Chains A and B, each alone.
Chain A
Amino acid sequence: MLSFVLKRLLQSVIVMLLLSIVIFVGLWLIGNPADVLISSEATEADRLAAIKALGLDKPLWQQYLIFLGNAVQGDWGTSFVYKEPVTTILLQRLPASVELAAVAFVIAITVSIPAGLYAGLRPDSAPARAIMAFSLVGVSIPTFWQGMLLIIAFGIAIPILPVGDRGDIATYFGITSSLWTLDGWSHVVLPAFSLALLKMSLLIRVTRAATVEVSHLDFVTFAYAKGVRAWKVVIGHILRNALIPLVTVIGIEVGNLLAYGVITETVFSWPGLGKLLINSIKVLDRPLIVAQLTYTALLFIFINFVVDILYTVIDPRVKSVMGRQVT
């Protein structure tokens, strides 16, 4: 198990190194941040001064090595645009993203698993068809569009929910969050639902497919024949086995929620990481982009790691395979 963890760690370091190189070269190919940042009324001398101030006058490999050297020491650089340390800015924005993702995650899971399970157990019933129709709509509507629809419906036509922004925040138990206040909740509901809709629909479909598959297997039939109560079969046999593919999908989706709420955050002007990423890309704020994408990679690596651990809990067979892989 320990060597499995070590191997994973090594892999992640390599992935992150490669990623940072790709981002560096990619951004360098795109253009010169100084040209975006300087005023159109500025003189050529001002432009050269800006290039020098941002360290862009050095050759790319040198810029990269400087970045790497600092990053190893925990300094991820200073934003070109804000001149604040990148970590400060990211930490400022992270709580908002985590809040939104957490609420969206809870909405998605609490709706999709029961609904998917039901649709898988009674595939021909009318409610199951309704659930599947709903999930099809949810998967097909583009996020930005349903976001706008939600805003128009609940923010403007029937103005019961505030539009955009994060709402009041409060601090309890050392955690500053908008989820501690009523105003915060009224702000988060709409974007969280919008963000959850696609995940929800996807998870419904995955749960249903897994349920249908598992519920026809011999051990389920045997359990029923044995006289095990129906709900025990559903929870203990069907759901537990259906969870294995589901956990993988949920893992990836959690990562997506945390890192790529870009569209929802933009539409709802939610002050999270996604909105920051888009804005940094627009002005080629390289230190911020590099830090954010590396954070994202780290996040996915971590989630995959947790998923692998979870497998062993849900399905003991996996543990033996993992042991063998290492030796």
Chain B
Amino acid sequence: MEKTKFGLALAAALSLAPISAKAEELRVGLAAIATSVDPHFHRAGYNFDLRENISDALVYANGATGEVEPRLAASWEITSDTNWLVILEPKAKFDNGNPLGADDVIYSLCRVRNVPNSPGLYSGFIETVANVTDAGNGKIMIESREPDPNLLRNLSNIGIVENPTGRTLTYDDKTCGNDSWLDTNGFNNGTVSAGIGHYRVTKFTPDVEIVLQRNDQYYGKPAHYDTVVIKALPDNSARIAALLGDSVDVINSVPINAVESVQSAGKFHLSSTPSTLLIFLLADQHQEPTPKVSDADGKNPFLDPRVRKALNLAINRNEIAETVMGGMAQPAGQIILDGIFGHNPDLAPYPYDPAKAKALLAEAGYPNGFSLVLSAPSDRYVNGAQVAQAVAAMLSQIGLQVTLETFPRSIYFTKASDYEFSLYLAGAAADTGEGLSQMINLAGTRDPDRGWGGANRGRYSSEVTDKHLAQAQATLDDAEREKLIQAASKQVYEDDGYVPLYHELGVWAVRNGIQYEANANLINIFYTARPE
């Protein structure tokens, strides 16, 4: 008996030997790195990055395949319209050896609303959760307020941490009867574990560097690299220099003007995929007069659908994608990216037809156009300011007198939220990896109480769209729900409510010999990276 055990251990050691012999390290330079190790501290793309690698959620919404994969939830079953029975992964253990329990899940969901000084809570992801209870035998029951098809997708953003209270909390949407919560700083300085993940954080220096060590006790398929060093390289040229100068192996958001130098170096390849991030123009469809339009007799021309249609016809999307974006964009005719749940394949791309656009303007009563200020952020999106310039030029070709104003994002979004713009450029992605949340966020009538239209700062509003979206939100059947989302997309298309420009491509530059996943949610997954 002893002998067999030893033999097994030896065999295991030998089989591991080639991997552990050379401690393999992956060095990644990112434009923005996580601001905290705390998985619930700040809802932002760069924090999703780290969270997905160090703190598993119940499920993983795979940005590369669009599928929902099991993580801490080994499997699940919908027992009624609003009840989800989730079986927890029995092999999942926290760093101290404690197995995952229902109380940990309840504690984590409760903590989401109780992170002091959070500059942006994750609470939007658990809004529909009505109750979470321990169903015994390693199962939990999640109840939603109304039928919510995207319940698990939303929960895929909530990392599960260990419950330190020693008792099982009773879920509610306030504090769950608990008044002392894990402190964010504890996660940052390593005294509190961030949960169960492929990696553990061994060093965290904000805005400089994060070092990850592989978690060898991970319950699932282990990550390949022993250590991952993540460096903050916000400056485009510094990021490129670090790659070319061999201090990192992978960089994200490759600047368009550097693509050539990366390729000509001969040591790297580009890994890219269209992302769900839609860059769009949105016209003020609420105020009259609208602040940044003049020579229109005190009217808001964008309230006229013909004018909005003219905007859509005036823009040469292929030209923008090819020339200004250097091919790093996929022209868009609707909000949802092709291949993402809810995309409507029947909507034809908007044709580029400046003559017709001019005619529509004349028909709407503006044969000589009107004066308009186009607003755009200067430092938020890849080549955003240049795209806005191209758009301004295209709009002047249909007879509008366009002035372009750009602001750094620190000012821009405050102004947009205060409705100071008449036509503005912005972007929004699908956090959940499917189209419904993105549609609600962009095309739903802006309503803070309902949590709709958060990025709809032009206040596009259509009863039909809202009806379809509300119905989709309550439909659990995938095929039926997709039809409803597609119907909403069609309505937005027909209303010319949005001027979709393109979906940004996520572009990574990777050293040859390394395989690195291009993720449609623009998230960096380190555990799938491996040598080729």
Residues of A within 8 A of B (CB): 30-50, 53-54, 78-84, 89, 92-93, 148, 151-152, 155-156, 159, 162-165, 266-269, 271, 275-276, 279, 281-284
Question: What is the CA–CA distance of A267 and B208 in the complex, to the nearest angstrom?
Answer: 14
Say whether B417 contacts A41, CB under 8 Å.
Answer: no
Say whether A155 contacts B454, CB under 8 Å.
Answer: no
Question: What is the CA–CA distance of A40 and B207 in the complex, to the nearest angstrom?
Answer: 21
State how many angstroms separate the Cβ of A302 from the closest Cβ of chain B.
26
Q: B404: CB under 8 A from chain A?
A: no
Say whether A41 contacts B431, CB under 8 Å.
Answer: yes
Inter-chain contacts of A266 with B (CB < 8 A): 234-235, 238
Question: What is the CA–CA distance of A92 and B208 in the complex, to the nearest angstrom?
Answer: 10
Choice from A33, A50, A156, A163 contacting B118 with Cβ under 8 Å: A50
Q: B75: CB under 8 A from chain A?
A: no
What are the nearest 10 A-B pairs in CB distance? A163-B245, A44-B448, A43-B451, A31-B414, A37-B119, A155-B245, A271-B208, A35-B413, A38-B120, A31-B411
Say whether B448 contacts A36, CB under 8 Å.
Answer: no
Whether A165 touches B247, Cβ cut-off 8 Å, given contacts A82-B36, A89-B206, A148-B237, is yes
Q: B483: CB under 8 A from chain A?
A: no
Docked complex: B406-459 residues within 8 A CB-CB of A: 408-417, 426-431, 437-438, 441, 446-449, 451-452, 454-455
Inter-chain contacts of A152 with B (CB < 8 A): 241
Question: What is the CA–CA distance of A269 and B233 in the complex, to the nearest angstrom?
Answer: 6
Say whether A78 contacts B117, CB under 8 Å.
Answer: yes
Say whether A48 contacts B448, CB under 8 Å.
Answer: yes
When C-beta atoms are compared, the residue in chain A nearest to B235 turns out to be A266
B207, B409, B413 — most chain A CB neighbours (10 Å): B207
Inter-chain contacts of A165 with B (CB < 8 A): 231, 242, 247
Inter-chain contacts of B428 with A (CB < 8 A): 40-41
Q: Count residues of chain B with CB under 8 A from any CB of chain A.
A: 67
Say whether B245 contacts A36, CB under 8 Å.
Answer: no
When C-beta atoms are compared, the residue in chain B nearest to A167 turns out to be B247
State how many angstroms separate the Cβ of A123 from the closest Cβ of chain B.
39
Question: What is the CA–CA distance of A78 and B184 in the complex, to the nearest angstrom?
Answer: 12
When C-beta atoms are compared, the residue in chain A nearest to B232 turns out to be A269
Say whether B241 contacts A156, CB under 8 Å.
Answer: yes
Say whether B242 contacts A40, CB under 8 Å.
Answer: no
Question: What is the CA–CA distance of A180 and B459 in the complex, to the nearest angstrom?
Answer: 59
Say whether A46 contacts B123, CB under 8 Å.
Answer: yes
Question: What is the CA–CA distance of A276 and B241 in the complex, to the nearest angstrom?
Answer: 20
Say whether A46 contacts B120, CB under 8 Å.
Answer: yes
Q: B42: CB under 8 A from chain A?
A: yes
Inter-chain contacts of A89 with B (CB < 8 A): 206
Say whether B121 contacts A50, CB under 8 Å.
Answer: yes
Choice from B185, B231, B409, B441 contacting A83 with Cβ under 8 Å: B185
Say whether B415 contacts A31, CB under 8 Å.
Answer: yes
Choice from B36, B38, B118, B429 contacting A41 with Cβ under 8 Å: B429
Whether A81 touches B235, Cβ cut-off 8 Å, given contacts A34-B119, A159-B246, is no
Q: B188: CB under 8 A from chain A?
A: yes
Whether A284 touches B410, Cβ cut-off 8 Å, given contacts A53-B119, A163-B247, is yes
State how many angstroms separate the Cβ of A196 from the closest Cβ of chain B.
19
Inter-chain contacts of A83 with B (CB < 8 A): 36, 38, 41, 117-118, 184-185, 188
Question: What is the CA–CA distance of A30 and B409 in the complex, to the nearest angstrom?
Answer: 10
When C-beta atoms are compared, the residue in chain A nearest to B427 turns out to be A40
Choice from B41, B413, B427, B430 contacting A36 with Cβ under 8 Å: B413
Q: List 28 A-B contacts (CB under 8 A).
A: A31-B414, A39-B44, A40-B427, A40-B428, A41-B441, A44-B446, A45-B448, A45-B449, A49-B123, A50-B121, A53-B116, A53-B119, A81-B206, A83-B38, A83-B185, A89-B206, A162-B246, A164-B238, A164-B247, A266-B234, A267-B238, A269-B232, A269-B233, A269-B235, A282-B379, A282-B409, A282-B410, A284-B410
Docked complex: B181-218 residues within 8 A CB-CB of A: 184-185, 188, 205-209
Say whether B413 contacts A159, CB under 8 Å.
Answer: no
Say whether B206 contacts A84, CB under 8 Å.
Answer: yes
When C-beta atoms are compared, the residue in chain A nearest to B41 turns out to be A83
Beyond A41-B437, A163-B247, list 17 extra A-B contacts (CB 8 Å).
Answer: A30-B410, A31-B411, A34-B119, A39-B431, A41-B429, A41-B430, A46-B124, A81-B206, A82-B36, A82-B188, A82-B207, A156-B245, A164-B231, A164-B247, A266-B234, A266-B235, A271-B205
Question: What is the CA–CA distance of A156 and B379 in the complex, to the nearest angstrom?
Answer: 27
Question: What is the CA–CA distance of A50 and B41 in the complex, to the nearest angstrom?
Answer: 11
Question: What is the CA–CA distance of A47 and B246 in the complex, to the nearest angstrom?
Answer: 41
Inter-chain contacts of B242 with A (CB < 8 A): 163-165, 269
Say whether B120 contacts A39, CB under 8 Å.
Answer: yes
Q: B35: CB under 8 A from chain A?
A: yes
Say whether B234 contacts A279, CB under 8 Å.
Answer: yes
Inter-chain contacts of B393 with A (CB < 8 A): none
When C-beta atoms are compared, the residue in chain B nearest to A36 turns out to be B410
Inter-chain contacts of B476 with A (CB < 8 A): none
Say whether A42 contacts B245, CB under 8 Å.
Answer: no
State how many angstroms separate the Cβ of A41 from the closest Cβ of chain B.
5
Inter-chain contacts of A45 with B (CB < 8 A): 448-449, 451
Say whether B188 contacts A84, CB under 8 Å.
Answer: yes
Whether A37 touches B120, Cβ cut-off 8 Å, given contacts A42-B43, A45-B449, A83-B36, is yes
Say whether A37 contacts B238, CB under 8 Å.
Answer: no
Choice from B42, B118, B238, B426 contacting A269 with Cβ under 8 Å: B238
When C-beta atoms are compared, the residue in chain B nearest to A187 turns out to be B247
Inter-chain contacts of B426 with A (CB < 8 A): 40
State how many angstroms separate the Cβ of A45 from the closest Cβ of chain B.
5
Inter-chain contacts of A269 with B (CB < 8 A): 231-233, 235, 238-239, 242
Docked complex: B29-44 residues within 8 A CB-CB of A: 35-36, 38, 41-44
Q: B324: CB under 8 A from chain A?
A: no
Bits for B42-78, please: 1 = Cβ < 8 Å to A, else 0: 1111000000000000000000000000000000000
Say whether A282 contacts B206, CB under 8 Å.
Answer: no
Q: B244: CB under 8 A from chain A?
A: yes
Inter-chain contacts of A268 with B (CB < 8 A): 238
Say whether B410 contacts A46, CB under 8 Å.
Answer: no
Say whether A276 contacts B184, CB under 8 Å.
Answer: no
Say whether A43 contacts B231, CB under 8 Å.
Answer: no
Inter-chain contacts of A283 with B (CB < 8 A): 410
Docked complex: B375-415 residues within 8 A CB-CB of A: 379, 408-415
Question: What is the CA–CA distance of A53 and B415 in the complex, to the nearest angstrom?
Answer: 21
Inter-chain contacts of A275 with B (CB < 8 A): 207
State how many angstroms separate the Cβ of A263 from the closest Cβ of chain B.
10
Say whether B241 contacts A164, CB under 8 Å.
Answer: yes
Question: What is the CA–CA distance of A148 and B428 in the complex, to the nearest angstrom?
Answer: 33
Whether A267 touches B184, Cβ cut-off 8 Å, given contacts A47-B417, A53-B119, is no
